[in-house]
Amino acid sequence: MRFLVVDDSTTMRRIMINALQRIGYHDAIEASNGQEALERLDPTVGCIITDWNMPEMSGLELAQSVRETPAGRRVPILMVTTRGAREDILAAIDAGVNGYLVKPFTPSTLKEKIDRIFSGAGAAA
């Protein structure tokens, strides 16, 4: 499965791709903000993993935009962010996000969230 990893921090994108590799996912493409992610999104992308705070277009705006496109209605979105306020979490689910992971994370917690999304236990898109 191909992941689209979206984060404005190069370090975090590398950490995320490294964590994905450790749990057995070796196909990932990158984007540094929501706008770039929309440009890179195509039917080969099986899951979007996005940060929230990014310049130009945030992860929340990305989720809202993806859900408005025919191709993006069903692609799972996992938000990985430092934002842990209750209202943020509720805003994310309202925007169409399927899973929520608060930084810092470990490869095992990442795997748990991905498994949860694909087992259908996460919020449906």
Partner 1 sequence: MIGVPGQPAMRNSDEVLYDSEASLRLVDRAIHELKRSMADTGEHEWVVLEDSVTEPGGFARADGLRQLDARLRDVSATTETATTDILDCVSRAVALVERLGSAGDADRDAVLAALDNELALVTTRLQFQDITAQELGRIAGVLAAMRVGATPRALTALPEPQRDAQAFADRVFGQPPARKTA
Amino acid at 16: M
Q: Does 115 bind partner 1 (CB under 8 A)?
A: no
Binding track over 60-79 against partner 1, x by CB under 8 A: -------x-----xx-----
**Other CB atoms within 10 Å distance of the CB of residue 63:** 26
Stretch that binds partner 1, among 31-39, 42-50, 97-105 (CB under 8 A): 97-105
Please give the size of the binding site for partner 1, defined by CB under 8 A.
Answer: 42
**Tokens (6 digits) for 78:** 């996992």
Q: CA 54 to CA 4: how far, in whole Å?
A: 15
- What's the Rg (C-alpha) of the chain? 13
What is the DSSP-derived secondary structure letter of residue 108? H
Report the nearest approach of partner 1 to the CB of residue 93 (Å). Answer: 6
Residues found near partner 1 in the complex (CB under 8 A): 7, 9, 11-12, 15, 18-19, 22, 53, 67, 73-74, 82-90, 93-94, 96-107, 109, 116, 121-125
